[in-house]
Amino acid sequence: MRKFRLKKISQFQRNRLVDSSFLYLGIFCTFFGLIILAIFIGNILKDGLSRIDWGFMTHLPSRNAAKAGILTAWVGSVWILVLTAIIAIPLGVSAGIYLEEYGKKNRFASVIETNISNLAGVPSIIYGLLGLEIFVRVLHFGGSLLSGAFTLALLILPILIVATREALKAVPNTLREASYGLGATKWQTIRYQILPAASGGIMTGIILALSRAVGETAPLIVIGALAYVPFVPHSPLDEFTVLPMIIFNWVSRPQEEFLVNAAAGIIILLLITFLMNGVAVFLRNKWQKKINW
């Protein structure tokens, strides 16, 4: 009987080597990104953290860097966020549900699907131009929050639709079968079984979309958001400014104090973004716990 001997130079050792090299490569790549991010955040904090105080948050913009505040900007950003959400979420999620659950799966439907995905990649300034024509001029909303919200809603609509559809696709068909088998209508099945099951994915999509909206500047500039707005907007038809715009404005000023202001503004913007993502992850985990394929 042949002895069971492992050869010295073996294929197994070679495979092991490749395995561990990839492991180290992966670790390096991961930490590379994290380190860059840490450097960036560290830098920003160093530059701007000291500037943030109650005054910064509640003052109106001013030519005097020390007196300038971001009140109008962050209030504007919040307004835009809320309005965009109110417009885009029902539209986007409903469209996604219709396309995925009710629409016939024929060639026309796949053409639509492709084009919606394409729309998600269109440069945001194009949406700005579209918004300028339709909302600002034709509908006479002017350079207001309403125009801004509608424009951004259009921008993020494709993202919402695609995310909703993907979340719905991920729900296994056996669930639908079980529901129909018990005599549920399509809407009952969607309402009681499919939407709850897809809620995690849809939530993620909403947060991604809104995060994008919060950071958009170009389309808002086109529709007429101003850099220097010395008042807090009170209605959707008021003119407005947003954080990214005021940061951009400050960065282009020659005085060094304004650069510090800009850094502080960036911190606030980052805070808003992280907060939103945190809420989303929390909600997603809470709802995902029940679902367990």
Binding site for another protein (CB under 8 A): 104-105, 172, 174-175, 177-185, 188, 192-193, 196-197, 290-293
Residue 239 β-bridge partners: 144
| Coil/strand/helix, residue 94 | helix
Distance from chain centroid for Cα 16: 40
Compute the least distance from the CB of residue 191 to another protein, in Å: 10
Nearer to another protein, 133 or 177 (CB): 177
DSSP per residue, 158-169? HHHHHHHHHHHH
Residue 214 tokens read as 């919060």
Contact predicate 51/264, CB 8 Å: yes
Go through the chain and tell me how many residues it has. 293
Contact predicate 221/128, CB 8 Å: yes
Nearer to another protein, 172 or 230 (CB): 172
Compute the least distance from the CB of residue 105 to another protein, in Å: 7
Residue 144 β-bridge partners: 239
Task: Specify burial of residue 53 (Cβ count, 10 A radius: 0-12, 13-18, 19+).
Answer: exposed
Compute the least distance from the CB of residue 98 to another protein, in Å: 17
Compute the least distance from the CB of residue 181 to another protein, in Å: 4
Nearer to another protein, 195 or 267 (CB): 195
Phi, psi of 7 (to 5 degrees): -70, 155
Compute the least distance from the CB of residue 284 to another protein, in Å: 15
Nearer to another protein, 103 or 215 (CB): 103
Nearer to another protein, 11 or 174 (CB): 174
Nearer to another protein, 9 or 182 (CB): 182
Query: Minimal CA–CA distance to 203: which of 100, 287, 271, 117?
Result: 287
Nearer to another protein, 180 or 248 (CB): 180
* Cα→Cα distances 34→28, 29, 31, 79, 216, Å: 10, 9, 5, 32, 24
